[in-house]
A and B are shown apart, each in its own frame.
Chain A
Amino acid sequence: MRNIWTIARREYNHFFTSPIAYVVAFAILLIVGAIFALVILDASNNAFSGFGSTAPSISAVVWWFNFMIILSTPALTMRLISEEHRMGTVELLLTAPVRDWELVIGKWLGGFLFMLTIIAVTLIYPFILNSLETPGIDQGQMMSAYLGLILLSAALLGLGVGISSLFNNQIAAFFATLAVFIFLTWIVSFISQIAPGGKDLFSYLSMNTHFDSLNSGTINLTDIVYFLSLTALGLFTGATAVEVRRWS
């Protein structure tokens, strides 16, 4: 366990010296902030022009947050393992008394903690919204939505680490990861809408189904299991890839 923590801590600190991480954090926070401002503006316009006064919910902001995480996670994970190969430092890690899965989980945990930091920053929006509305926002729904964001980040980072371990080239890792993410979210959703059969299966496979459910405020065990399974799958792929590479 200590090895995982040592690797995660280095990785987490590395994010704060890396321009990519700042760009990713900036992009996410900018877009989410802009959406938040627009949501408030829209609600106040509606209220003034007499179109009813539905209080704005946090779920629109969270949905865009989800979108930004899907787009930007590949940029965070692309270098996690592939860069170790490029710099030759993989020789250091693989000859240190560290198990392959400890290395992969450490890498993932570093990225996950960084994403949690970004998520924590955005908690300011529900707090603002809560103070603007009477009697305040639906806190249960908000917590469910944030649980969705955390689970989604865990799963995407897990898959990203797994895919990164298959590549030596960061750009290749980036696009492969992005393609997998887009497939798991929008393409599978689209298939589930038009497929003649197996609607339930495709709907279950789609990340959107599970995220939307959490975002709307219902916490189902299936959704949690789904995201945790994807995380495990990604980490397993990563650990296997590291071990297979030793033999080649």
Chain B
Amino acid sequence: MIRVEGLTKDYGARRAISNLNFEAKQGEIVGFLGPNGAGKTTTMRILTGYMPPTDGSALVAGFDVVDESLEVRKRVGYLPETVPLYTDMTAYDYLKFMADLRQIPDSSERADEALEMVGMESRANSFISSLSKGMRQRIGLAQALIHRPEVLILDEPTIGLDPGQVVEVRKLIREIGKERTVLLSTHILSEAQQICDRVLIINKGKIVAEDTPENLQSRLVGSERVALRVRGESDGLSKIITKVKGVQSVHSAPDGSIEFQFAPGQDVRPEVAKAVVNAGYDLLELRPVGMSLEEIFLELTREDNRRK
């Protein structure tokens, strides 16, 4: 469980995050989404007890991050953005050290267990300096999981992994997120869409939106969008569609199809289809297009910038 109230952090005169409020419940995966420098890492560092906030409070696993920092740290697994590894140790020794540091009684078994969880048991005795970036990332993740924490905080957990590993790690996070609280940051929006139950969009130290990925999408889309494809060249098609009554805007998509928008509830698809066929084109496809999280994100951060 994470509860953040009025969290603010200043670095000298610069305000990194200002008055953040949010909550993450047990069994929930919350995604922290934002451009670089938005304050994601700062927030995570406060929640893990690495640094205290300037103002506001945060409760993690039922303990205050400032007053009961050690209790918080016992219950949180943290994977920082730059994976903190001792490259002169073997993977196994490193994990055993972390288990000892967390005062786990059966530290050797736990180190083995954590290696297995991230699929690295075959490299247990390799020096970390000899491991690839993706493997190091997985060792970092193993370190965050070794004490079976109630709360898992992951800063860009899939960065640097190859596609197969990304799928694996996402599966692992979803698995963990069933029983525990997971807060992860990412700037890959499709990732947030895939694994998060809820998304917080943060820009310039402020939360600009908070909802499920689906709700965010429907909330922001003020109009419906349809992609249309015909056989052969589609020159001149835009003009024809623009003339249809009710169509708000038309533009060509990079894949050769044409997208048009209309107000919700005023379905103009039959009219558009008729117009296209009457003009002598072979209509192949008429497909609704959802607004991607990328676009929602750009839309939100643009609005936020305009307001200033």
Q: Which residues of A contact B (CB under 8 A)?
A: 2-3, 6-7, 10, 14, 17-18, 87-99, 246-248
In the complex the two chains form, is B98's CB within 8 Å of A95's CB?
no
Q: Which residues of B contact A (CB under 8 A)?
A: 11, 45, 48-52, 70, 73-74, 76, 78, 80, 82-89, 97-98, 100-103, 143
- Of B51, B80, B86, B101, the residue contacting A96 (CB under 8 A) is B101
In the complex the two chains form, is A91's CB within 8 Å of B97's CB?
no
B297 to chain A, nearest CB (A): 27
Q: Which residues of A contact B89 (CB under 8 A)?
A: 10
A87 to chain B, nearest CB (A): 7
In the complex the two chains form, is A96's CB within 8 Å of B73's CB?
yes
In the complex the two chains form, is B50's CB within 8 Å of A10's CB?
no
In the complex the two chains form, is B78's CB within 8 Å of A95's CB?
yes
Q: Which residues of B contact A91 (CB under 8 A)?
A: 45, 50, 78, 80, 82, 84
A-B contacts, 12 listed (Cβ < 8 Å)? A17-B88, A88-B80, A89-B85, A91-B78, A91-B80, A92-B84, A94-B49, A95-B50, A95-B76, A97-B73, A97-B101, A98-B101
A192 to chain B, nearest CB (A): 43
Q: Which residues of A contact B78 (CB under 8 A)?
A: 91, 95
CA separation between A98 and B102, bound complex, in Å? 8
Q: Which residues of B contact A90 (CB under 8 A)?
A: 84
CA separation between A90 and B78, bound complex, in Å? 13
User: Knowing A94-B50, A95-B50 touch, does A88 contact B84 (C-beta < 8 A)?
Assistant: yes
New A-B pairs, 15, CB < 8 Å, besides A97-B101, A97-B102:
A2-B100, A6-B97, A7-B101, A14-B86, A14-B88, A88-B80, A88-B83, A89-B85, A89-B86, A93-B101, A95-B73, A95-B76, A95-B78, A247-B51, A248-B11
Interface of B, helix, strand, loop or mixed by DSSP: loop
Interface of A, helix, strand, loop or mixed by DSSP: helix
CA separation between A87 and B87, bound complex, in Å? 9
Closest to A92 in B: B84
Closest to A99 in B: B70
CA separation between A14 and B143, bound complex, in Å? 19
A215 to chain B, nearest CB (A): 36
B159 to chain A, nearest CB (A): 14
In the complex the two chains form, is A92's CB within 8 Å of B98's CB?
yes
A72 to chain B, nearest CB (A): 20
In the complex the two chains form, is B101's CB within 8 Å of A3's CB?
yes
A243 to chain B, nearest CB (A): 10
- Of B11, B52, B74, the residue contacting A97 (CB under 8 A) is B74
User: Knowing A10-B97, A98-B101 touch, does A87 contact B51 (C-beta < 8 A)?
Assistant: no
Q: Which residues of A contact B85 (CB under 8 A)?
A: 87, 89
Closest to B48 in A: A95
In the complex the two chains form, is A96's CB within 8 Å of B98's CB?
yes
Residue among A3, A94, A248 facing the most chain B CB atoms (10 A cut-off): A94
In the complex the two chains form, is B52's CB within 8 Å of A6's CB?
no
In the complex the two chains form, is A92's CB within 8 Å of B80's CB?
yes
Q: Which residues of A contact B100 (CB under 8 A)?
A: 2, 6
In the complex the two chains form, is B103's CB within 8 Å of A97's CB?
yes
A12 to chain B, nearest CB (A): 12
A104 to chain B, nearest CB (A): 15
Pairs A-B, 9 closest by C-beta atoms: A92-B84, A88-B82, A89-B84, A95-B48, A6-B100, A97-B73, A97-B74, A91-B80, A88-B84
User: Knowing A6-B97, A91-B50, A91-B80 touch, does A97 contact B70 (C-beta < 8 A)?
Assistant: yes
